[in-house]
Amino acid sequence: MKLDRKDWEWVLTCFGTAVGAGILFLPIRAGLGGIWPTLILTAIIFPVTYVAHRGITRVVASCSKATDIVGAVEHDLGRNVGFAVSVLYFLSIITICVGYATGITNIVSSFLTNQMGVGEVSRPVLTFLLLVGLTSVILAGEKIMVRVTSIITFPLIILLAVLSLYMIPYWNSAVVTAPTTGGEIMKNLLLLFPVLVFAMNFSPVCSTLGASYRAQYPVEEAVRRTDGIIKWTSLILLVFVMFFVLSMLLTTTPDMLAEAQAKNVDILTVLSLAVHQPFLKYVIPLIAFLAIASSYFGHFVGTREGLVGIITRLMTWSRPADEEKLDKRRINLVVTVLMMVGLWFLAVYNPPILKIIGALSAPVIAIYAYLMPVMLMKRVPRLMIYRSSFASFVFVMGLVGIAGDFVGSYL
């Protein structure tokens, strides 16, 4: 199917949703496991990503009414199952926000200490100032937030692509020649796949995509168009993300990657400490900051909306009609403050970001994007026409995404 201008705008929106902290930490996990697990997963991640995200949009776009994923599930399976999906959606995003808050603090802290020569910075104060600044953009209103995000996203994509190409003359064979065994490859496949699931994830926007097209087109056309958007997004992500990962792997060394993991920083932060060009020393941390900041806005809003939805649903469980009487603005403000305080506390604690991604974020994403659509298509009559033989493989890979970090850590 040929995409029109509006379709391509949605492709860029989905692409921008996926490009964030995941792409910055994926090279570290990939490099620690050697080059072979990365090449193996590169060969299979496109169809897995495509079928998984296509499943979410088909659930929404094929509904008899224009609604989001929670509304579509409620329509087919009732209020209780719909509520369970809303909780799952919330959990799939909240852990990502924790990783973003921690990551952006570490980026700025490293930049101030190493590039700017500032002495030891109080982590609680720095984290507080950063979260207040980022959350202020959200509180300024949707129009301001969207404008800031759009200003950041497109230069960010170009900068990441240019950086991937710019580093080609600095490629080395350290990762390629690192010794490995069959057991190590299997272990690192299990550890790497959950992080790859995270880096290639744009499921938070799939529900909105499906609802938007269903509101404008009949079911068949909405499904056909969203399928095309998901296909092209997955393909572009494959090329963009994996070329960036391979370029960073071949530019760095296993020792640099181990240092990045130990310091709990992203690949660009550790790279900025190794390059000798003064210009790159300042530009590379800026790219890392923009990558996480642009994704923080969307995921914070998604988390807040999910939590507000859960709270209002619980408050009006026995009387759904009372939901219209609630002061949503006040609930939004209280939830925003509570979220910021919680993120501040966790970011100050500085939990290991790769562990957050592999053990917390990726498993919930796998349940929401890989397992749930497959199960719905087996249970909901209107969705049975969308079942495919490849869906079983996606389901299995979803299980790997759930258990991979846990099993791989103990092999």
Residue range 241-258, pLDDT digits in tens: 999 999 999 998 888 888
Using the predicted structure, report yes or no on whether residue 150 has a pLDDT greater than 80: no
Query: Are the CB atoms for 377 and 384 separated by under 8 Å?
Result: yes
Closest residue by Cα to residue 220 from 51, 373, 64, 69: 64
Of all residues in the chain, the percent with pLDDT exceeding 90 is 51
Using the predicted structure, report yes or no on whether residue 235 has a pLDDT greater than 90: yes
93: enclosing H helix or E strand:
helix 79-110
Q: How would you classify residue 46: left for phi > 0, otherwise alpha for psi between -120 and 50, otherwise beta?
A: alpha
Mean pLDDT, residues 102-130 taken together: 91
Domains, the chain, with CATH or none: 5-410 (1.20.1740.10)
Helices (H) and strands (E) in the chain, counts: 18, 0
Using the predicted structure, report yes or no on whether residue 209 has a pLDDT greater than 80: yes
In angstroms, the CA 16 to CA 28 distance is 21
Query: Are the CB atoms for 346 and 98 separated by under 8 Å?
Result: yes
Q: What is the pLDDT of residue 282?
A: 87
- For 258-315, the pLDDT digits (tens) are 889 998 999 999 888 888 788 888 889 988 998 888 888 878 887 887 888 888 888 8
Q: Where are the beta strands (DSSP E) in 47-198?
A: none
| Orientation of helix 278-315 relative to helix 79-110, angle to 10° | 150
